[in-house]
Amino acid sequence: MNSPHPSWREAWTAALYADEGFYRTGRPIDHFRTSAHLGLFATSISELVRREGSATVVDLAAGGGEMLTALHALLGDGVELIGVEIADRPTNLPPSIGWLPELPDRIDGLLIANEWLDNIPCDVVEVDESGVVREVLVDPESGEETLGSEVDSAWLREWWPIAEPGERAEIGETRDGAWANAVARVSGTAIAIDYGHTRDDRPPYGSLRSYVSGRETEVIPDGTRDVTAHVAVDSVATAVGATIRTQREALGKLGLDAGRPPLELATTDPTAYLNALAAAGEAGELVAKSGLGDFWWLITDTRGHGTLTA
Ligand X SMILES: C[S@@+](CC[C@H](N)C(=O)[O-])C[C@H]1O[C@@H](n2cnc3c(N)ncnc32)[C@H](O)[C@@H]1O
- Residue closer to ligand X (CB basis): 112 or 136: 112
Applying CB under 6 A, the span of 111-119, 128-136, 249-257, 294-302 interacting with ligand X comes to 111-119
Q: Does 119 bind ligand X (CB under 6 A)?
A: yes
- Residue closer to ligand X (CB basis): 273 or 296: 296
Q: Which of 11, 14, 15, 36 binds ligand X (CB under 6 A)?
A: 36
Closest distance of CB 62 from ligand X, Å? 6
Pick out residues in 15-34 that bind ligand X (CB under 6 A). 23, 28, 34
Size of the site for ligand X (CB under 6 A): 15
**Residue (of 300, 106, 298) closest to 185 by Cα position:** 106
Q: Does 8 bind ligand X (CB under 6 A)?
A: no
Q: Does 207 bind ligand X (CB under 6 A)?
A: no
Determine whether 196 is exposed, middle or buried from the number of CB atoms within 10 Å of its CB (0-12, 13-18, 19+): buried
Q: Does 174 bind ligand X (CB under 6 A)?
A: no
Rounded Cα gap, residues 270 and 272, in angstroms: 6
CB 73 within 8 A of CB 19: no
- Residue closer to ligand X (CB basis): 75 or 182: 182
Rounded Cα gap, residues 143 and 218, in angstroms: 8
Amino acid at 140: P
DSSP states of 246-299: EHHHHHHHTT---PPPPTHHHHH-HHHHHHHHHHHHHHHHHT-TTTGGG-EEEE
- Residue closer to ligand X (CB basis): 1 or 29: 29
- Residue closer to ligand X (CB basis): 114 or 210: 114
Pick out residues in 77-96 that bind ligand X (CB under 6 A). 84-87
Q: Does 196 bind ligand X (CB under 6 A)?
A: no
- Residue closer to ligand X (CB basis): 192 or 276: 192
Q: By three-state DSSP, how is residue 153 classified?
A: coil
Q: Which of 52, 115, 234, 301 binds ligand X (CB under 6 A)?
A: 115
Q: 154 CB contacts (<8 Å, ≥6 apart)?
A: none
CA distances, 207 to each of 172, 260, 283, 294 (Å): 12, 35, 27, 16
Applying CB under 6 A, the span of 3-11, 112-120, 194-202, 271-279 interacting with ligand X comes to 112-120
Q: Does 148 bind ligand X (CB under 6 A)?
A: no
- Residue closer to ligand X (CB basis): 151 or 231: 231
Strand order in the sheet with 168-171: 145-150, 133-138, 123-127, 168-171
**Residue (of 101, 142, 153, 114) closest to 11 by Cα position:** 142
Closest distance of CB 194 from ligand X, Å? 9
Binding mask 53-82 for ligand X (x = CB under 6 A): --------xxx-------------------
Q: Does 295 bind ligand X (CB under 6 A)?
A: no
CB atoms within 10 A of CB 203: 15
Residues that bind ligand X (CB under 6 A): 23, 28, 34, 36, 61-63, 84-87, 114-116, 119
